[in-house]
Amino acid sequence: MGGVGKTTLARLVYDDLRMKDHFQHKAWVCVSEEFDVDHLTKAILESLDCPTKPDFHSNQSELKETLMGKKFFLVLDDVWNCQSWEVFTAPLRQVAPQSKILITTRDKTVAEVMCCTSTYPLKPLQDGDCWNLFVKHAFNNQPNAVDPDLVRIGKEIIKKCGGLPLATKTLGSLLQIKLSFQHWNKILKSELWALSEDRSNIIPSLRLSYHYLPSNLKRCFAYCSIFPKDYDIDKNDLIQLWMADGLIYPTQRSTSLEETGDEIFKDLESRSFFEPSKRGGDYFIMHDLLNDLAKSVAGEFFVLLDAAQTQDMSTKTRYLSYIRCKSDNVDMFEKVLKCHQLRSFIQFDSLSIGDDIMSRLCRLKYIRQLSLNGSQNLRSLTDGISNLKHLHYLDLSFTSVKKLPNSICLLINLQTLKLRGCHDLTELPSNLYKLINLRHLDLEGCGIRKMPRGMGKLNQLQTMNQFVVAKKEDQI
């Protein structure tokens, strides 16, 4: 069952300190619906801090040489199918005999095809354990300090959670916000409990948790449907995307849009909609079932696709993101261009977007968020980018862009400009100071040799992680 704790248990095993004594290498890879051997091989290499190459066979050879004769522990999390299992395991066949692969899956057939030596079906939590988990989140581990009527209602509510830890934790976080008899009783008797799970596996307790969110949190959570499952979400980047879409408004408690966004994120995290990623720092993930919930409430205006799913797009699409596209797909971009009201175009894996496609994207005049992160074939921007008057967020990180046209400085609504890892970019436009609403400028790993004049006029700037001082004073 989804939300029963498979990944949590696997993570406890993976993070156990004793694992370091038993295995020389270990890697964690999230699989989800598509068992893409090329993607998984790269993910393992990245987890081992090994370089990856565009060629699949080179990556398999690299993985084979890295692990040959070594004791290796691999976790494959959330496996739905295991097509090409023999091809995937080819570079792993010469590891030390004590090596292990641990998988989490909802499908017994997957375990059988993978020839698992043992399986451990997880069962729902028993009543006592379920109550203890609920008490931790709803009562801060202090049930004796609250109204006995709330304890009684709480025990009635957790019976409806079916012993699922995710449901118990999320509902407990929801109820902790308002410790009143009327509020709890309303949730206990809600008609949403009677709704059956749909094809997206949206369990009633999660629907309830969303239903009782404040309206601004609902909008920000629904926006998260753009992310693929198991994606490490950079909190600061997400806040900038929320800002770009106009989802954040200043409050009395905050002094900036960023602070308001941080309050919203912390509120959603406190309600268990986000949890810290294994990557650490400001990275977070959403449970698969919460990702499904976000997609369910976002509806047809949000589309996450790969090259094989262009049929999901329609002229109603407003937010488009994609992942694991292996090559240019002319049909996809033809359909994209028909989405005249598109507000967001974001890629999460490197796609071969070139200068020609970029010039065509500049026809989407209502777009507010454009991310071409990792498009190595993108070497220049057309002057037509000035047509994107509503653009608030532009990410050109890790592209091969050599020069930014001065016309980019006409994008006076631009709040975020990301140029991270643009090694070929040696200078910024001379009129950059005209971007009067720019708040975030990411130049880390960029080839910039000097900063343009007038940077002091960017009085809205909140972050700039690199400032290059020219050698001659008259160039500063």
Least confident range from 147-156, 197-206, 399-408, 416-425: namely 197-206
Q: What angle do CA 382, 383, 385 make, to 5 degrees?
A: 80
d(CA 252, CA 259): 11
| Mean pLDDT of the region 316-345 | 75
- Least confident residue range of 182-196, 219-233, 459-473: 459-473
Residue 311 phi, psi dihedral angles, 5° rounding:
-70, -15
Residue 64, phi then psi, degrees to nearest 5: -60, -45
Q: How far is CA 259 from CA 266, 267, 462, in A?
A: 10, 12, 11
* Domain chopping of the chain, boundaries: 6-113, 127-211, 215-293, 306-475
Virtual torsion, Cα 303, 304, 305, 311, nearest 10 deg: -20
Q: How many H helices and E strands in the chain? A: 17, 14
Residue 330, pLDDT above cutoff 70: no
According to the CATH classification, is domain 215-293 in 2.40.30.30? no
Identify the residue with better confidence: 304 or 17. 17
pLDDT of residue 284: 96
Using CA of residue 401, residue 407, residue 409, residue 414, what is the dihedral sign?
negative
CB contact set of 86 (below 8 Å; sequence gap of 6+): none
Q: How many CA atoms lie within 13 A of 76 on its CB side?
A: 26
Six token digits for residue 303: 């589309």
| Chain-centre distance for alpha carbon 302 | 15
Of 263, 257, 280, 288, nearest in space to 392 by CA: 257
Question: Helix, strand, or coil here: 152?
Answer: helix
pLDDT band at 327 (very low <50, low <70, confident <90, very high): very low
Task: Give pLDDT, residue 192.
Answer: 79
Cβ burial, residue 327 (10 Å; 0-12/13-18/19+) = exposed
Residue 278 per-residue DSSP state = T
Query: What CATH code would you report for 306-475?
Result: 3.80.10.10
What pLDDT does 307 receive?
47
CB 470 within 8 A of CB 445: no
**First CA to last CA distance, the chain:** 61
List of E strands, 176-269: 233-234
pLDDT of 311 > 70? The answer is: no
CB–CB of 371/393 below 8 Å? yes
Q: Report the distance separating Cα 447 and Cα 428, nearest Å.
A: 10
**How many C-beta atoms surround the C-beta of residue 145 within 10 A?**
8
Residue 191, judged by CB atoms within 10 A of its CB (0-12, 13-18, 19+), counts as: exposed
- φ/ψ of 144, rounded to 5, equals -75, -10
Contact 298, 225 (CB under 8 A): yes
If you average pLDDT over every residue of the chain, what do you get?
86
How many angstroms separate the CA atoms of 166 and 5, rounded?
Answer: 7
pLDDT greater than 90 at residue 393: yes
Mean pLDDT across 365-384? 89
Check pLDDT > 50 for residue 310.
Answer: yes
Give the integer Cα–Cα distance in Å for 229 and 33.
9
Pairwise pLDDT comparison (396 vs 304), residue with the higher score: 396
Provide mean pLDDT across the span 103-132: 88
Cα dihedral: 128, 129, 130, 134 (round 10): 100
Q: Which two tokens stand for residue 266?
A: 């912390």
Note every long-range contact of 35-40, with CB atoms under 8 Å and residues 24 or more positions apart, other chains counting: 35/79, 35/80, 35/81, 35/82, 35/83, 35/84, 35/85, 35/88, 36/324, 37/84, 37/87, 37/88, 38/326, 39/324, 39/349, 40/76, 40/88
Mean pLDDT of 281-289: 92
Max avg pLDDT among 15-19, 316-320, 464-468:
15-19
Highest mean pLDDT: which of 186-190, 193-197, 323-327, 422-426?
A: 422-426
Q: Which residue has the higher pLDDT, 60 or 196?
A: 60
CA atoms within 13 A on the CB side of 38: 10
Q: What is the pLDDT of residue 229?
A: 86
pLDDT surpasses 60 at 476: no
